[in-house]
């Protein structure tokens, strides 16, 4: 069962933790793709980055 995150007296939904973890994984993937030169070969890099982030968040939520 998923529970809220308690930070002081502020309750946050569990998706916040998934979003933070996905953000860290996204930055690592973006760094690796940038160093490999793959981001410059894409037609629309910003659209690819949004799709990558949404995919990572979705996988984390499904695996939880």
More reliable by pLDDT, 8 or 50: 50
Mean pLDDT of the chain: 93
Query: Domain locations in the chain?
Result: 5-63
Report the b/e string of 24-56 with b at 16+ CB within 10 A: ebbeeebeebeeeeeeeeeeeeeeebeebbeeb
Other Cβ atoms within 10 Å of 17 Cβ, number:
14
What pLDDT is recorded for position 1? 62
Residue pLDDT, tens place only, 4-34: 888 888 999 989 999 999 999 999 999 999 9
- The DSSP symbol for 10 reads E
Place of tokens 């982030």: 53
**47 has pLDDT over 70:** yes
The answer, yes or no, to whether residue 46 has pLDDT greater than 90, is yes
Q: Tell me the whole-structure pTM to 2 decimals.
A: 0.85
* CB 61, CB 53: distance < 8 Å: no
């Amino acid at each position: 069962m998923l529970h809220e995150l308690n930070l002081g007296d502020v309750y946050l939904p569990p998706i916040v933790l998934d979003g933070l973890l996905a953000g860290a994984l996204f930055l690592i993937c973006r760094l690796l793709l940038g160093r490999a030169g793959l981001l410059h070969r894409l037609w629309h890099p910003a659209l690819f980055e949004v799709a990558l982030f949404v995919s990572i968040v979705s996988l984390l939520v499904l695996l939880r």
